[in-house]
């Protein structure tokens, strides 16, 4: 297929930026820890100060989410993340094990190719630039086509601050002419060392097909199990607030409640008090038609929208005070579209009698589009909590916390990140919250701690063949000693 003029410009821009990042990284790779942290600190302060403006730009350009919540995510991706990683050594000797005589040395990857989603564009740009530069890498950012301007503006904030603090020009780059060809060129370029892929499943698959290291994300069909032992008031408050946060565009947002039957009625009442509106079956059917396309893919028009917007789109009426919409469901799978991941303010609702049944329902949901990602459990019974932790095929299990903010590390102590790996079962190389540790390699200097075995010091063969018996020198010594004894006699 012939490339358009825009495609060609995008490809050329990608090539130039990767080369610029490589040249700058050759200098930055020799920066000392003090200089690295000085540059990162400057970027953090600039991004934090610009958090509100950049969040507003993201909401206006994409049409997704809530500006105030995007501001919070920008603050999280800058200041909160920096507090966790500022003391991590990324230069020179990072660990000396004197007992085992192994010294570990940090070594940067090179150039990071970073894909940016439309759902969390500015916060993801901040996040990926910060961890890349902290690890002494260069970076080229490839924005989503619907989030180009806000991504460019965010990158500019980081670039100006970094270069003002002493980073070499060209270390941080952001594509401005966006096309599939250009983004693929950025990823495939020989100077690109590692790919950070956050975005739609198709682009993540392309990232994994480049024949080089790639950290990708996966869909998050996150169930929230509420046990009979849970603090129901807290669970109701957290679930509604989490699903309403930034209109549900974070991939770890709750997608369905699985309520233990004895407490289901009370939980519903409490959630209604927090702003959850439970739709009837006619309304649910209208939502099915507008949230998803006939092939099961998400209708982009429904992503990151308020309940009132969705109601207007679906031709139904919901209260003005509704923060989220909840649909009671009975099955999981293709025949029930609302059991899929819904990147908007619609939540599924299931009831199960006992934690064992709830466990099975959660696994069904996870296997239907959320393998390896996340799960939330509200309970105080330690037996139930531990059983869920051991049995669920996910790599983030939030206990009595919000799905959105707990899994990314704002309300828990997991590593702060907006790139959440779903592990091997989810098609990724890692199940971690991807951070600075994933962007540098470790060299190991290992000193001898024991002498080699004697057999290892001998030649492997003799003129007549392999050595299988005693060493020929030893045989000769024995023979000489026997001859001396005979002569003495």
In the chain, what are the domains?
8-217+435-443 (3.40.605.10), 222-410 (3.40.309.10)
What pLDDT score does 470 carry?
58
The per-residue pLDDT for 450 is 93
pLDDT of 200: 65
CA 436 to chain centre: 12
Query: What pLDDT does residue 427 have?
Result: 84
Of 182, 238, 190, 224, which Cα lies nearest the Cα of 210?
A: 190
- At 383 the pLDDT is 95
Using CA atoms in the order 297, 302, 306, 308, what is the torsion angle rounded to 10 degrees? -120
Active site residues: 251
What is the per-residue pLDDT for 255?
Answer: 98
Q: How confident is the model at residue 168, as a pLDDT?
A: 98
- The tokens of 362 are what? 């959660």
Please report, in tens digits, the pLDDT of each residue of the chain (489 residues total).
Answer: 567 889 999 999 999 999 999 999 999 999 999 999 999 999 999 999 999 999 999 999 999 999 999 999 999 999 999 999 999 999 999 999 999 999 999 999 999 999 999 999 999 999 999 999 999 999 999 999 999 999 999 999 999 999 999 999 999 999 999 999 999 999 999 999 999 988 766 667 777 777 888 898 888 899 999 999 999 999 999 999 999 999 999 999 999 999 999 999 999 999 999 999 999 999 999 999 999 999 888 999 999 999 999 999 999 999 999 999 999 999 999 999 999 999 999 999 999 999 999 999 999 999 998 899 999 999 999 999 999 998 889 999 999 999 999 999 999 999 999 999 999 888 888 999 999 999 999 999 999 999 999 888 887 655 555 555 556 666 677 667 766 776 675
SS (H, E, C) the chain: CCCCHHHHHHHHHHHHHHHHHHHHHHHHCCCCHHHHHHHHHHHHHHHHHCHHHHHHHHHHHHCCCCHHHHHHHHHHHHHHHHHHHCCCCCCCEEEEECCCCEEEEEEECCEEEEECCCCCHHHHHHHHHHHHHHCCCEEEEECCHHHHHHHHHHHHHHHHHHHHCCCCCCCEEECCCCCHHHHHHHHHCCCCCEEEECCCHHHHHHHHCCCCCEEECCCCCEEEEECCCCCHHHHHHHHHHHHHHHHHCCCCCEEEEEEEHHHHHHHHHHHHHCCEEECCHHHHHHHHHHHECCCCCECHHHCCCCHHHHHHHHCCCCCCCCCEEEEECCCCECCEHHHCCCCCCEEEEEEECCHHHHHHHHHHHHHCCCCEEEEEEECCCHHHHHHHHHHCCEEEEEECCCHHHHHCCCCCCCCCCCCECCCHHHCCCCCCECCHHHHEEEEEEECCCCCCCHHHHCCCEECCEECCCCCHHHHHHHHHHHHHHHHHC
CA distances from 169 to 47, 158, 306, 476 (A): 18, 12, 42, 71
Supply the pLDDT for residue 102: 97
At 424 the pLDDT is: 87
pTM of the model: 0.90
Quote the pLDDT of residue 426: 87
Burial tier of 445 (Cβ tally within 10 Å: 0-12, 13-18, 19+): exposed
Tokens 């800058």 identify what position?
Answer: 78
């Amino acid at each position: 297929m012939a490339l358009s003029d825009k495609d060609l410009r995008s490809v050329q821009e990608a090539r130039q930026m990767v080369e610029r990042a490589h040249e700058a990284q050759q200098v930055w790779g020799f920066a000392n820890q003090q200089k690295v942290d000085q540059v990162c600190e400057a970027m953090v302060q600039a991004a934090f100060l610009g958090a509100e403006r950049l969040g507003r730009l993201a909401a206006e350009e994409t049409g997704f989410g809530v500006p105030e919540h995007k501001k919070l995510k920008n603050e999280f991706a800058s200041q909160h993340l920096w507090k966790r990683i500022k003391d991590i050594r990324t230069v020179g000797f990072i660990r000396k094990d004197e007992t085992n005589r192994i010294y570990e040395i940090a070594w940067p990857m090179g150039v990071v190719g970073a894909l940016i989603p439309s759902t969390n564009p500015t916060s993801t740009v901040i996040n990926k630039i910060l961890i890349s530069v902290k690890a002494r890498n260069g970076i080229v950012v490839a924005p989503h086509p619907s989030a180009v301007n806000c991504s460019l503006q965010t990158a500019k904030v980081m670039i100006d601050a970094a270069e003002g603090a002493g980073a070499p020009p060209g270390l941080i780059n952001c594509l401005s002419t966006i096309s599939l060809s250009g983004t693929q060129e950025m990823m495939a370029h020989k100077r690109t060392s590692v790919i950070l892929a956050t975005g739609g499943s198709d682009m993540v698959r392309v990232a994994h097909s480049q024949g080089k290291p790639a950290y990708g994300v996966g869909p998050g069909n996150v169930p929230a199990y509420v046990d009979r032992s849970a603090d129901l008031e807290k669970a109701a408050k957290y679930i509604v607030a989490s699903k309403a946060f930034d209109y549900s565009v974070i991939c770890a947002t709750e997608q369905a409640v699985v309520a233990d039957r004895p407490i289901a009625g009370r939980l519903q009442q409490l959630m209604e008090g927090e702003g959850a509106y439970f739709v009837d079956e006619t309304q649910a059917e209208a939502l099915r038609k507008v949230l998803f396309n006939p092939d099961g893919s998400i209708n982009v028009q429904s992503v990151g929208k308020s309940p009132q917007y969705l109601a207007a789109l679906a031709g139904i009426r919901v209260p003005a005070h509704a923060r989220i919409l909840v649909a009671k469901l009975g099955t999981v799978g293709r025949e029930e579209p609302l059991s899929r991941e819904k990147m908007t303010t619609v939540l599924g609702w299931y009831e199960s009698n006992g934690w064992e049944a709830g466990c099975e329902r959660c696994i069904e949901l996870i296997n239907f589009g959320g393998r390896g990602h996340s799960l939330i459990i509200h309970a105080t019974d330690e037996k139930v909590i531990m059983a869920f932790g051991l049995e669920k095929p996910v790599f983030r299990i939030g206990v009595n916390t919000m799905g959105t903010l707990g899994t990314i590390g704002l309300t828990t102590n997991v590593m702060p990140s907006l790139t959440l790996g779903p592990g091997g079962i989810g098609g990724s190389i890692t199940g971690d919250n991807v951070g600075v540790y994933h962007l540098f390699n470790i060299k190991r200097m290992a000193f001898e701690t024991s002498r080699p075995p004697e057999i290892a010091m001998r030649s492997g063969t003799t003129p007549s063949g392999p050595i299988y018996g005693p060493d020929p020198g030893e045989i000769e010594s024995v023979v000489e000693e026997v001859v001396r004894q005979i002569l003495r006699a």
